[in-house]
Structure 1
Amino acid sequence: MAESQNNTAQLLELWHSFRYLLLLLGVAGVFVLKLRSYIRNFEQREGKGLTALKPTTWVQVPVKAESKPSVKTHITPRRIVGKRGLKPKNGGKAASEVEEGEFDIQTLIFYSTLTGSTQRCAEELRTRLFGVKGESIYPTLSIPTPSNSLVSVPIRRSFLPPAVYNLEEVELDDFFVTLPNENGKKVKYVYLLLLPTYETDAPIRPFLEHLRETHHDFRIDTAPLRSLAGFSVFGFGDSSEWPAEEGKFCKDAVEVDKWMGKLTGGKGGTRRMFPVGMGDVNPAVGPNSAEKSLDEWRVHLEDAMREYAATGALGDSADWRTAIESGDEDSDFEIVDPADDMVDVEDLGNVIRTDPAVAKKGNVVKRKAVLPVDFTTLAGRKALEAGEGQSADRKEMVPKGGVTYETLTKQGYTIVGSHSGVKICRWTKSALRGRGSCYKFSFYGIKSHLCMETTPSLSCSNKCVFCWRHGTNPVGTTWRWKVDPPEEIFKGVVEGHYRKIKMMKGVPGVRADRFSEAFKIRHCALSLVGEPIFYPYINEFLHLLHSSKISSFLVCNAQHPAQLAALGHVTQLYVSIDASNKDSLKKIDRPLHRDFWERFQQCLDILREKRNQHRTVFRLTLVKGFNIEDEVQGYADLVEKGLPCFVEVKGVTYCGTSTAGEAGLTMKNVPFYEEVVAFVEALNAELSKRGLGYGIAAEHAHSCCALIASNHFFINGKWHTLIDYAKFFELLESGKEFGPEDYVGEATPEWANWGNGGFDPADQRVYRKGKGPKEEVEESGGCG
């Protein structure tokens, strides 16, 4: 017993003597093991370590031998991490978004099926992708040269023959947590997913659950598929089971598209190569309707894949978050106030310029100022055509690199030439996602994704308190700047619009069919910032639009009677009527012309004369505290004076800047829709009392807007506010005189009529959080 106690004492003495050393060795051992694990994971992330697991089942297709994934054994637990790109500088693409060098592109087609029809479509897609076999290796891409001609350039990145997989038969972790590895060979993967939506429980449920769990698993990076070349989803659905207006048509495909977007980039971007496509298998829609939709989706997808092969990048779609929406109608974008030293163009006419070299001595040099030539008048036009006023001294309205240029660019404008601009409207984005078009669709049949919003003149002669640009655009009463030819402006705005549409390719929920349609502009809203009628060649610009079968909706501010009188045919002519009396107009529009009220009255007289040649519209913007209270009588007087075809009444959209605040405009000045409705009903009652023949025709409650129409458009007991655009172009080409009643379209749809809200039931309305029905609060990339 004594010996045992002695041994224990010796052990305790040894422990106390060497315990610090032993603890240190233990910590060092743990550190070495952790370091070894980290190095192994780093090699795996960089493609230098072991390869991914082999899928359990492979469909036999003619692929290159080296394209089949190898077997890999997991040695230690690890956290799955995708390749995170570097933050772009100066608005450029992140380093990881552009793949340099040569590599192969492997297309993997995944499908889920219950009856076998989707499998047949997947195999057909594999056969038809890129048409002929020879194109899959070294295809060509047509690119423009400096002389605007096209040249075919070979793409030195080959497309491997596609492979097809059933989602029920593969190990999902090997494709949707990690990517297959090609034994050191650089291969980029494109995932195409063909997914049906059934009314009953479908085999796609486990796959959806896997994507959801992968995203929320804390052990896995939130975007483990970031290194994918790209993905695209196509859904099959039956509209007889789930109509589009219920928001469930192809809902499984929409859901997969949403989660794939998160797993390939999350909030930092997405690898969506093309928007989700949809095919309707309902026989009542038409024979082979779904197959035709799939084939159209394939054609556009091939273009995107060729672009990736040529450039190593997804193109503009990777930058969709920079495509800022228009401030028109409830934009969330916060406008940046202009620089403190920004001077209105109106104040630059006869200023005294100081020579920097002489200013140091305190001397001021007066230079001869450029005399303003009003090119918008007939005399001015003749002077312009004679070459007068276009000297080197004449400035550009919005010079590139200037404060105004930078400010408007930040607000989402594409500046064309020296005085024109184009911008994508938030309603265009909404329509592309199947979430509704603007009020012009309810009233006049304009689909927002087919509409271009532009202006040939960024300058305006008013400084309205509710202007969305908040004084960042130039202003002036006469045209003092260089003049760009209409052909260059037309080409520039169309190209700029298409570039912005292309940037929407990666936006969650964008529908492939509407995305494809959006590259066929059919309408042009000449509004935005500025005064379109101010442009000297506005009639020539309108001719270019009409020659391309693009309808024209021109908005003017009733301050340029000479230009209004000389205006040629437009599809619809708007005049902003922001007040019913001189004092209110001065307070709201803050016009630069001293004789603004006389000009305003002249424009109403001209509009009355033109009512038999144009569809004329009074646009009333209601600002509570400015032009609503006790002004119904005054507005009725103006309607009686101009006799427009239509009167649009709309609540103001608060712009939320210091400029608006200085003018006394706050959120309290934004009327509720109930207040707009009360005003419309009161105005309509006053017009009826005077026997003017008007009635309330339609509404778009989402835009806080209602339409009063002349009874000339109340035909056979129904309102006909829509436009027959084909008939308009036919009449225009005939060269004969015609009026607004000659191209009246079909009856206004029932859902757009007064009292029915005005939201298209074929689209899905998505409410902001905290507003609207609970089931529609969360945005899930919905489509209609």
Structure 2
Amino acid sequence: MQVMASEPVGLGQILAGLESEDVVQLWHSYRMPILLSILAVLLSLRLYLRLTDKKEDLKAIPKIYEPPVEKQVPNVRSTSPATTAKPKTQAPRRIKGELGRKSSQDSVNGPREIQVYLFFSSLTATTDKIAHDYGKKLEESLKATTEDKVHFLPPKVLDLAEADYDEYLITAPKVPTRNGEGQAELFYLFLIPSYNIDSINDNLLEHLKETHHDFRIDTTSLSGILGYSVFGFGSREGWPTEEEGYCFQAKEVDRWMAKLTGRKRAFPLGMGDVKGDGMKRLDEWNEGVLDVLGLLARTGSLGEGVVGSGAPDESDDEAEVDDDDGEVILGDGETQVLKKKSIDDVEDLGAIMKSSRPDGETPAPIAVDFTTYGKEKKRTPVVTVKEMVPKNSPTYNSLTKQGYSIVGSHSGVKICRWTKSALRGRGSCYKFSFYGINSHQCMETTPSLSCSNKCVFCWRHGTNPVGTSWRWVVDPPDLIFAGVKENHYKKIKMMRGVPGVRAERFAEAMRIRHCALSLVGEPIFYPHINEFLGMLHSERISSFLVCNAQHPDQLAALGHVTQLYVSIDASNRESLRKIDRPLHRDFWERFQRCLDILREKRFKQRTVFRLTLVKGFNIEDEAEGYADLVEKGLPCFVEIKGVTYCGTSTSSNAGLTMGNVPFYHEVCDFVEALNKALAKRGLKYGIAAEHAHSCCILIASERFNVDGKWHTLIDYGKFFNLLEEKGPDGDFTPEDYMGAATPEWATWGNGGFDPRDQRVDRKGRVIEI
């Protein structure tokens, strides 16, 4: 086949002149260039179509972290610099928190509603007064801030010693709007004085920390609130610089709230000196808070990028700082500093060495530990163990004003009002009617002033320390034993000149025969409680120990006591949470374990369920629930007592008033209902005794009913003889030291008042019975 050289030769002519075998051979020779050419053409076509398509026709996912912009159709044919310039390259933004969600007010007619919560802590009542005064001032200011579309509800001032952390500080509470059609949005403020002693602040910080690290809870569980801000009070006399601790607890609250809210710090942390510029700084902080609340009213958000807005780059981040200083030790003590550069390979190390030595010099051998590069382990800080109640602390001053004598750093003793009453022949404690205790020979004390509950009926709100674990100095038991006895006798001697004190009882009172470990706090919290009990028993002093059913391990390890009480303040989980306000998150599980332990101890010790009835909390329709708990623990006795209202402001802050105190006939009705519920379950219990004067009734196991008579009294001599014979862990039963029959005047239906004494009213006038 001949082709003219002057004629152009096309691909078709060449292919036409080829045999089929030649085509196959040609394909095998050039298939890769052909396929790549086709792929390049297709990619070019696709790119062209993408560039010419309109933006609204694209199926891209919008960026949720950028503000919405108006849709525009780019003019791809424009040659202006604005359209041809390359977009500015930005570093990827770090996204924290959760997706924006629709406000609860969006679907509600009327203005948005915002509820401000003002939390405070106080030991000396100074911050208490400041907080309530500030709350009133804030309410007036917010009325002026209210916009047409936003309404601020009256601020709520909450004492952290009384507030339920589970309700406010795990997830945001649901606050209904005024018309009940939606939920108000929330804003948190904190006034935190910092103390260098154990206080409610320590418990608050522990709670915030546990909430953040609890795998069952979202790390930003409080992100539902609009924002928060903290103001701290401190004293520069004790902490000259911020680094040394000035307002350190307020800073910690601010830090943990930033984590839990997803960096919703609405205004920077404020700090003021209580002995100097405290109120001036509070006013400045208040102005900033009002500006932020005004911004919320106008825009519904905290804004972006302003100082204190809680942006990640402005908030206190918990990311660890790389402690490695980047130094590589070379020969002869030379040091090459490597800043912000990691050694990923041996070749990198070689390059560094080459660049670090003079030309021509032979490097000395280098010793490198390849395991040390990167972040070093965090050094364990040196922790200074604090005293629970130092002598120069507000807690110490508060407790001593209430009549306590503080022994050592964590123990206390106080003379009971029933001791005073018995000395004057005006009636003894219900323990005399039920168990034969002489009230004037009883010492009320505790080796631990700290407790793990914040019960609504406790009259020590905010004064005694709280905590879930022992973190203080531990005083030796002999120091505590000697100290409580000395101070108890001092208080008894002070009664010498009180009118009406009977000489024979005063003489008897100078020898302690009984010890009620129920003053305040949690006795079994003390690490050496068994040694302390041994010292009591060595002097033949009986022990009546009360615990709160929150420390099962300590309860299980407890040795013999004369009578072991467990406070059973509610019949179900929710009711227990509301009335005891426990600090432990697993409080119900701990409670159940304590009941199991009590069941195991029922044939070794006299066990008692103590029920404190609070109207509106744990009386209504709970008799059946209490019967279930009795069936689980099978105690020897069940004491049912109406709550005593102490009439303090802290009680009212806890939601307790005189309306919560049951009448005696209401307690009697409850006891009868409980007794029927026990009988229905086939449990052998009966109503054994009463003490109407203190609104207390005793239900006892049939184990203590002999020949038709109740034997609730204790033979204390037999108890001590058994202890001496068999030891503190000896095997003997409550029946082995059962006392004489319960006096007729103390049995159910007879009132329970000691006939040797004379009842009087509050003014000392004789009451005819």
The aligned residue for residue 455 of structure 1 is 446
Aligned residue number for residue 766 of structure 1: 760
Quick one: distance in 1 between partners of 2:399 and 2:521? Answer: 12
Q: How far apart are residue 663 of structure 1 and its match?
A: 2.6
The alpha-carbon distance between structure 1 residues 506 and 639, as it changes in their structure 2 partners (threshold 3 A), is same
**How far apart in 2 are the matches of 1:431 and 1:394?**
41
Residue 444 of structure 2 aligns to a residue in which SS?
strand
Choose from 239, 242, 252 the match for 1:359.
242
List per-residue Cα deviations over 1:356-382 (Å, max 9, x = no partner). Answer: 44439999999xx9xxxxxxxxxxxxx
- CA separation of 1:361/1:472 partners in 2, compared to 1, >3 Å: closer, same or farther? closer
Measured in 2, the distance between the counterparts of 1:436 and 1:409 equals: 26
Q: Is the 1:624–1:669 Cα contact (8 Å) retained in structure 2? A: yes
Structure 1 position 769, deviation (Å): 4.8
The CA deviation string for residues 182-204 of structure 1, in whole angstroms up to 9 with x for no partner, is: xxxxxxxxxxxxxxxxxxxxxxx
Report Cα offsets for 1:536-586 as digits up to 9, x if no partner: 000000000000000000000000000000000000000000000011101
The one-letter amino acid paired with 2:203 is E
Equivalent in 654, 661, 668 of residue 677 of structure 1: 668
Q: Which residue of 2 aligns with 1:516?
A: 507
Matched to 1:691, the amino acid is G
Counterpart in 2 of 1:507?
498
Counterpart selection for 2:725 from 734, 752, 755: 734
**Contact between 2:759 and 2:766, CA under 8 Å: does it hold in 1?**
no
The residue number in structure 2 matching 1:743 is 737
Residue aligning to 1:757? 751
Q: Which amino acid aligns with 1:740?
A: P
- Scaled by the length of structure 2, the TM-score of the pair is 0.52
The 3-state SS of whatever aligns with 1:624 is coil
Q: Which has the larger radius of gyration?
A: 2
- Is 1:664 the equivalent of 2:521? no
CA distance in 2, matches of 1:557, 1:747: 30
Q: How far 1:340 sits from its partner (Å)?
A: 7.3
The equivalent position to 2:535 in structure 1, one of 512, 534, 544, is: 544
Secondary structure of 1:504's match? Answer: coil
CA contact (8 A) 1:420 1:489 kept: yes
Q: How many Å apart are 1:391 and its aligned residue?
A: 8.6
Report if the CA contact (8 A) 1:456-1:535 is conserved: yes
User: Alignment length, in residue pairs?
Assistant: 418
Instruction: Summarize the Cα distance change of 1:364–1:575 in structure 2 as closer, same or farther, 3 Å threshold.
Output: closer
Following TM superposition, by how much is the alpha carbon of 1:392 offset from its aligned partner in structure 2, in angstroms?
Answer: 8.0
CA distance in 1, matches of 2:698, 2:245: 61
Task: Indicate if the aligned counterparts of 2:556 and 2:597 stay in contact, CA closer than 8 A.
Answer: yes
TM-superposed deviation, 1:737: 1.0
Read off the aligned partner of 1:613 and give its amino acid letter: K
Paired letter, 1:359: E
Q: Secondary structure, in 3 states, of the residue corresponding to 2:583?
A: coil
Task: Check the 8 A contact 1:463/1:591 in 2, yes or no.
Answer: yes
Do the aligned partners of residues 392 and 591 (structure 1) sit closer, same or farther apart at CA in structure 2, a change above 3 Å counting? closer
Equivalent residue runs for 1:121-270 within 5 Å:
none
Picking from 583, 589, 597, the partner of 1:598 is 589
Is 1:473–2:464 an aligned residue pair? yes
Using the alignment, how far apart are the partners of 1:440 and 1:726 within structure 2? Answer: 17
Report SS of the residue matched to 2:570: coil
1:626 to 609, 617, 627: 617
Separation of aligned partners in 1, 2:488 and 2:666: 36
- CA change 1:771–1:687 in 2 (3 A) is farther
Tell me how far apart the structure 2 counterparts of residues 627 and 516 of structure 1 sit (CA, whole Å): 42
The answer for the alignment partner of 1:346 in structure 2 is 203
Distance 2:193 2:693 in 1: 36
Are 1:639 and 2:630 counterparts?
yes
Report Cα offsets for 1:83-139 as digits up to 9, x if no partner.
xxxxxxxxxxxxxxxxxxxxxxxxxxxxxxxxxxxxxxxxxxxxxxxxxxxxxxxxx
Moved over 6 A (4+): 339-342, 348-355, 360-366, 389-392
Structure 2 counterpart of 1:566, from 548, 557, 573 = 557
What amino acid is the match of 2:752?
G
For 2:203 and 2:764, the matched residues in 1 are separated by: 45
Partners of 1:405 and 1:705 lie apart in 2 by 32
- Show CA shifts across 1:716-766 (max 9, x none): 110000000000000011114101111000000000000000001111111
| CA deviation string 1:653-707 (max 9, x = no partner) | 0122333223321100000000000000110111111110000000000000000
Secondary structure in structure 2 of the residue aligned to 1:564: helix
Relative to structure 1, is the Cα distance of residues 357 and 641 closer, same or farther in structure 2, using a 3 angstrom cutoff?
same
Change (3 A) 1:668 1:362: closer
Q: Which runs of 5+ in 1 are unaligned?
A: 1-338, 370-388, 777-784
Structure 2 SS opposite 1:552 = strand
Correspondence for 2:53: none
- Specify the SS of the correspondent of 2:485: helix
How far residue 390 of structure 1 moved from its aligned partner, in angstroms, is 14
The alpha-carbon distance between structure 1 residues 543 and 341, as it changes in their structure 2 partners (threshold 3 A), is same
- Which whole-Å deviations, capped at 9, do the CAs of 1:565-608 have from their partners, x for residues lacking one? 00000000000000000111010000000000000000000000
How many angstroms apart in 1 are the aligned matches of 2:446 and 2:396? Answer: 15
The answer as to whether partners of 1:446 and 1:523 remain within 8 angstroms in 2 is yes
Q: Does 1:710 align with 2:701?
A: yes
Kept after mapping to 2: 8 A contact 1:470/1:657: no
TM-score by length of 1: 0.51
Displacement of 1:435 in angstroms is 1.1
Which residue in the other structure is 2:407 paired with?
A: 416
The 1-side partners of 2:435 and 2:452 are apart by 29
Distance 2:620 2:761 in 1: 31
Structure 1 letter corresponding to 2:749: G
Contact 1:623–1:652 (Cα < 8 Å) also in 2: yes
Match of 1:725 in 2: 716
Letter in 1 for 2:760: V
Label 1:771 to 1:578 Cα distance change in 2 as closer, same or farther (>3 A): farther
Q: Give the AA of the match of 2:558.
A: L
Partners of 1:451 and 1:347 in 2: how far apart? 36
Does 2:439 match 1:437? no
Contact 1:465 1:659 in 2 (8 A): no
Q: Can you list the C-alpha shifts for 1:309-348, whole angstroms capped at 9, x where unaligned?
A: xxxxxxxxxxxxxxxxxxxxxxxxxxxxxx9777414347
Tell whether the 8 Å contact from 1:399 to 1:418 is kept in structure 2 after alignment: yes
Q: 2:639 aligns with which of 635, 638, 648?
A: 648
- SS of the residue corresponding to residue 659 of structure 1 reads helix
Aligned counterparts, 1:37-48, within 5 A: none
**CA–CA distance in 2 between the matches of 1:363 and 1:509?**
53
Instruction: State the distance in 2 between where 1:413 and 1:348 align.
Output: 28
Of the three residues 403, 420, 430, the one matched with 2:394 is 403
- Shift in CA distance, 493/348, structure 1 to aligned 2, threshold 3 Å: farther
| 8 Å Cα contact 1:354-1:365 kept in structure 2 | no
- Letter aligned with residue 735 of structure 2: E
- 1:390 touches 1:482 (CA, 8 Å); kept in 2? no
- Cα offset, 1:469, TM superposition: 1.1
Match of 2:579, as an amino acid? I
Per-residue CA shift, 1:233-278, capped at 9, x if unaligned? xxxxxxxxxxxxxxxxxxxxxxxxxxxxxxxxxxxxxxxxxxxxxx
Is contact 2:194–2:247 with CA below 8 Å preserved after alignment? no
Q: Does structure 1 conserve the Cα–Cα contact (< 8 Å) formed by 2:704 and 2:710?
A: yes
Separation in structure 2 between the aligned mates of residue 472 and residue 584 of structure 1, nearest angstrom: 24
* Structure with higher RCO (Cα < 8 A, 6+ apart): 1
Q: Secondary structure at the match of 1:395?
A: coil
> CA 1:771–1:391 in structure 2 vs 1: closer, same or farther (change >3 Å)?
farther
Counting only pairs closer than 5 Å after superposition, residues 89-104 of structure 1 correspond to structure 2 as: none
- Identity, in percent, stands at 75
Q: State the match for 1:280 in structure 2.
A: none
| Cα pair 1:423 1:497 within 8 Å, conserved | yes
CA distance in 1, matches of 2:246, 2:758: 67
